Structure 1
Amino acid sequence: MSDTSIARPFAAGNNTTLAGIGLMVFGLFLFGANDVMGKWLVADHSVGQMLLIRSAAALLILAPFIWRERATFFSVERPFIQIARAFCGTAEVALFYWAVAYLPLADVMTFYLAGPIYVTALSALFLGERVGPARWAAVVVGFCGVLIALGPSITEFSWPSMIALAGSLGFSGLMVMTRLSRGTGDLQLISFQIIGGLVFGVVAAPVGWMTPSTNGFLMMGLLGIISMCAYLCVNRALKLAPASVVVPYQYTLIIWAVVFGYAFFNEIPEATTLIGAAIIVGAGIFLFVREQAQKRLRRRHEVQPATAEVPLEPRA
């Protein structure tokens, strides 16, 4: 066998991984752009009408694909999980837009980056997943990062910070519900989430409705299309490259938040925000690395003889 024939699979694998990294980075850039547009729009429009127009535009793009899958589109296992997931997804988006109306982008993003830390705690409490001492320690450290990022809000009530914190909990709920939806197709997952936003928009839009300009209307529609494209890029990245390679890139969102916040709104993050963000990112990466180690250990256990004494997962 020639050296060339041996090299080809590795080259192909490297190209696929690079494509996955590129899609993840681009998807996160789109999420950053979505956040900037949302902050700009919420200054003159209500959150309800933003979600209404945003969701309608995204659903319009998805309509042909939904129609093609119409025979099985609503045939999902555990529909209550999908309803709960749509609720959490709608809540986290609405609360994010509400929070950035009062807080810098970097502050709000810092709270949202704590999502994986909350997920670890919620998974142990409600899903029965085993979480060892090391991972619980990382959860505690991550919570300390959140408290540092809150800054004066710890001793002096700041309801915008509480909104951002509530939104990050909604984001965590979305991730937990997604874990419970592994058998549901991507089209259904994103469509149900968008439908949830549309329902919220229909109910909430009349409250504080401000007739948008043509540019405002188009921007809100573009908001939905950009967020949908960002989701698709991230999802495709996870299929092209190992999660252990591409998932840590999600923490570049704080970089986009700082850069875009300064470039478009002249926002300079407080030192406490940056310190808290660094602690949260460190704790989140540690939790992710431990989870990947557990998966490798489980796979190793599966190929052992049935009598082999191999633990299913380490005491993290």
Structure 2
Amino acid sequence: MTSHKFVAPAKAASARPQNGRATAFYLLGILISTAMVWMIKTLGQDYGAFQIMVARGAVMAVVLAPFALMRRAVPRVSGTPLKLAGRSLMAFGGQAMGIAAIAALPLAQAQALGFTKGFLVLALAVLMLGEQVGWRRWAAMALGMLGVLIILEPGQDIDPAGFLALGSAICFAGSTIVVKDLTRDTDRLTLMFWGAAGQSALALPLALIWWVAPPLPDLLIMLCLGLVAILLQSIMLTAFRLGDVSALAPLDYLRLVTGTILGFLAFGEVPGPAVLIGAALIIAANFAASWRPARQAATPRVL
């Protein structure tokens, strides 16, 4: 009886969110993500998106395979093959268009358009999951799309790569909805392994058409890209395990800051006022879409 009195509080304490530690992990993840963006944009000057995807996914699959087999994560996919395939297809489209957009667009513009994923998830939740979305979140989506229009500058010559960035955000939003369902009966290692293997398999035939033999320095960058992708996913999963999603989500917009700095220092890019104004509206739209009044905290959530 006495031991239970002391064990229970310890368990309760360990279950509390550790937002300070989670924030540290998340900020480290943002820095690692910025390094990944540099690798992708550097490789994108000489190699197609599909070849970069094959290199990244193959390295991830090879490294993760032994761990997946030891934990028997690979065979344990009964009931979910179609969902895994659908997630791989959407992630494939998101990766391909996202890599192409990063290679073609200034980094600040590409990342700003990528932030549309936040409110696109809400729209897809209505279409794919039948969830209800109130007027406030519909208004937030409209505000976000206004930001997109400002960034694309319809009155000017529109860069088609901007639509690649939007297409990537749509695909990743759909993948997020599927993953939300998959995580109920499929562990994260399975999702990571099959995601990497599936994307590599889908990209390989297309990559072979435009294949460019990389020299040793580029091969090393491709190897690092896959290894860093595994590290990034592990760090981000740790951050979300330790802290509240609501506390971590706003930190994601620091990617725009780090991306802008990277674009200026490494590639000489200076974002124009349209990109900055549009990015501000997109970020505001995401905050508005995710905000919940305190009085609703104890009530069932209605999007």
TM above 0.5, yes or no, is yes
Q: Where does residue 26 of structure 2 map in the other structure? A: 24
Q: Name the aligned partner's letter for residue 126 of structure 1.
A: M
| 1:77-156 correspondence runs (5 A) | 77-152=79-154, 156=157
Distance 2:179 2:249 in 1: 15
Question: Partner letter of residue 181 of structure 1?
Answer: L
> CA 1:187 to 1:13, structure 2 compared with 1: closer, same or farther past 3 Å?
closer
Change (3 A) 1:143 1:210: same
> Is 1:177 equivalent to 2:178 in the alignment?
yes
Q: 1:291 to 1:253 in 2, by over 3 A?
A: farther
- Larger deviation: 72-81 or 232-241? 72-81
How far apart are the structure 2 equivalents of 1:179 and 1:10?
Answer: 26
Taking the aligned partners of 1:267 and 1:155, their CA distance within structure 2 comes to 19
> What does 1:274-293 correspond to in 2, within 5 Å?
274-290=276-292
Counterpart of 2:33 in 1: which secondary structure?
helix
| RMSD over equivalenced CA pairs, Å | 2.4
Distance 1:38 1:202, change over 3 A: same
Residues in 2 aligned to 1:279 and 1:155: alpha-carbon distance in whole angstroms? 20
User: Within 5 A, what are the aligned runs for 1:239-278?
Assistant: 239-278=241-280
Q: TM-score, normalised by structure 2?
A: 0.89
The DSSP-based 3-state class of the residue aligned with 2:231 is helix
Residues 33 and 287 from structure 1, CA distance in 2 versus in 1: closer, same or farther, beyond 3 angstroms?
same
After TM superposition, the structure 1 stretch with the greater mean CA deviation from structure 2, 155-164 or 71-80, is 71-80
**CA separation of 1:78/1:59 partners in 2, compared to 1, >3 Å: closer, same or farther?**
closer
Q: Unaligned stretches of 5+ in structure 2?
A: 1-9
CA contact (8 A) 1:99 1:160 kept: yes
State the identity %.
Answer: 27
State the partner residue of 1:165.
166
Is this contact kept in 1: 2:73–2:187, CA < 8 A? Answer: no
TM-score, length of structure 1 as denominator length: 0.86
Greater displacement, 180-189 / 69-78:
69-78
2:51 matched to 1:49?
A: yes
- How many residue pairs get matched? 294
Q: In structure 2, how many angstroms separate the alpha carbons of the residues matched to 1:157 and 1:257?
A: 22
1:44 aligns to what SS in structure 2? coil
